[in-house]
Amino acid sequence: MRFGLYFSVKQEDSTEPPGGLNVSIDETSIEMVKCIFAKYRIMFLKLVVRRLLEDLSDLRDMIQQFYFITDLYLHNLTHEYTDRIYEPHRTVQDFINIEKTPKLRTLTIIRMIVADEFLEKVSNTALENLTFTECIFLTSEGTEKQPKKIKLAFGESYKAVCFDMCGIYIEDIKSQTICQSHHATIIIELSNCINLRTLTVNSGRYVNVVLRNKK
């Protein structure tokens, strides 16, 4: 199996935890279940990748069929971190088009490569919960005198933001390699986060996250 699809729904005023009972859906059953799932107000989709992302060129089209999902969990079981990756690599934005999932409120990404453009894009959306766990953030190279700063101004819709065990890497286009960057910083701007309840930053070894709140 290339990847697993696990769906769950939440009824109105239900006390069951998010994610609830996961129901596995075979790729051949997608058309059958779409019309059923689209009727629910809260729809969870957990996608577990079991093959190299290079073999999943159709994954983006598959995800976009579920435009009505409110919670998306993307977990890559095949990705291993190295200081140099010689094979062509795919990033999260190769598989997710935020503009085509207008109801999305929770996005959890585990062990994926994420370009800094995608970070900036999601910070400007109406998401409520955003989690990156063991992810690599790709950016252009900074220097000691002119470090690269990735500025993220999360909006007022955000209730929870998490960066857990993530790192910043730079990409060498010519050699198609990536390596860890020591001159890049993620700056989280909190001045608009009036509804923020949880902020988890546990990436000190991999990335220096600076919290800044304008007065």
Cα dihedral sign, 211-118-109-154 = positive
Nearest partner of 49 among 10, 14, 79, judged by Cα: 79
pLDDT digits (tens, 9 = 90+) for 22-68: 666 666 667 777 777 777 778 888 878 776 666 666 777 778 888 88
Burial 148-166, CB ≥16 within 10 A → b, else e:
bebebbbeebbbbbbbeeb
Tens-digit pLDDT profile for residues 86-141: 455 778 888 888 888 899 999 999 998 898 899 999 998 999 999 999 998 888 76
Which residue's structure tokens are 């996608």? 47
Query: Which single residue is written with the structure tokens 């894009």?
Result: 121
**For the chain, which domains are there?**
3-212 (3.80.10)
φ/ψ bin of 176: left (φ > 0), alpha (ψ from -120 to 50), beta (otherwise): left
Cβ contact 105:127 at 8 Å: yes
pLDDT tens-place string over residues 61-76: 778 888 888 899 988 8
Instruction: Enter the pTM of the model.
Output: 0.80
Share in percent of the chain as helix, strand, coil (round to 5): 15, 35, 45
pLDDT (tens digit, 9 = 90+) per residue, 80-93?
554 444 455 778 88
